[in-house]
A and B are shown apart, each in its own frame.
Chain A
Amino acid sequence: MKIAIMVNTGPYTHQASDTAYLFASAALRKGHEIYRVFFYHDGVNNGTRLTVPPQDDRHVVNRWSELADQHGVDLVVCVAAAQRRGIMDADEAKRHGNNADNLASGFRISGLGQLVEAAVQADRLVSFGD
């Protein structure tokens, strides 16, 4: 089954991002397809590569990147929500005249249409958030 996931909270403050990751991993183990993970609201903060958690803690951002790397999961950060919160890829940064970008590996920035498209195309959409 094709399952789409929406993540609405950033890492560490809320558990929702952890729950979403563990749900996605379990779905993959069971042979389902994760159609897309769409990051919205403060969820876009899951996509910053500048996160440096203490060594004895889980690395929420890297875990998502690994999911993209190992299973080809499409990780999409909402452009409008990301711009508000300072999450940028190199192209975005250039376009806005910023001298730095911070989008983590495996993530891409795109429009809200990607959420609605996922909702329409996937068999299920599960939201995680505050």
Chain B
Amino acid sequence: MLHIVNKSPFEKNSLETAVRLSQPDSAILLIEDAVYAASGDTSAVTMLKDVLRDRQVFALGPDLQARGVDVEKVPDGIEIIDYEGFVDLVVAHESTQSWL
């Protein structure tokens, strides 16, 4: 299952809930304000590094760029994708949940 999160982890608990209620082998895609979770020396990155042990994590590149998020500070393992990659992820997973 593909879990899509679009909220900053510093504003809402959507990412936390998506992690809590997703199974190993699922994928988490960060879009819009959720891309702030993917970079820097933060509690969110620490959580995502833990998540990466049994799940895939992706971040939408254009949203990182739009926000000036430091791509160099995105930890290894978090894959940066474009909109075509987003479509591929949706196709690759039998179901999709947006944690709105």
Contact = CB atoms under 8 A, between A and B. Distances in A.
Contacts of A19: 6, 31-32
B96 A32 contact: no
Contacts of A125: 96
Interface string B67-100: 0000000000000001110111011000110101
B81 to A, nearest CB: 11
SS class, residues of chain A in contact with chain B = mixed
Q: Most chain-B Cβ atoms within 10 A of its Cβ — which of A29, A124, A129?
A: A124
Interface residues of B, number: 19
A2 B90 CA distance: 11
Interface of A: 1, 3, 8, 15-16, 19, 22-23, 25-27, 29-30, 32, 124-130
Interface of B: 4, 6, 31-33, 62-63, 82-84, 86-88, 90-91, 95-96, 98, 100
